[in-house]
Amino acid sequence: LDAVMEDGDVDMLLDALGVIARKRGMTEVAKKAGLGRESLYRALSANGDPQLSTLVKVLGALGLRLRFAAA
């Protein structure tokens, strides 16, 4: 994920999060994030354009957090 963030490619970020979520179980991740399973699939799809709040929920459900550092 760090490498994907370095590139700044949002589509790759969503794809990477989708891979991690599927590995951990989409139903469980969706439940922990407070989202419907279909909503989670849609948000992390190639056509997805999730809100920041959705990404923060998904990251939290995956045991991850968003951090900022000076460039």
Least Cα distance to 17 among 55, 68, 70 occurs for 55
What residues have CB less than 8 Å from 42, skipping those under 6 apart? 48
Half-sphere exposure of 33 (CA within 13 A, CB side): 30
Mean pLDDT (whole number) for 48-54: 93
Quick one: the chain helix, strand, coil %, rounded to 5? 65, 0, 35
In the prediction, which pLDDT does 56 show? 95
pLDDT tens figures, 6-44: 888 889 999 999 999 999 999 999 999 999 999 999 999
Q: d(Cα 1, Cα 4) in Å, to the nearest integer?
A: 5
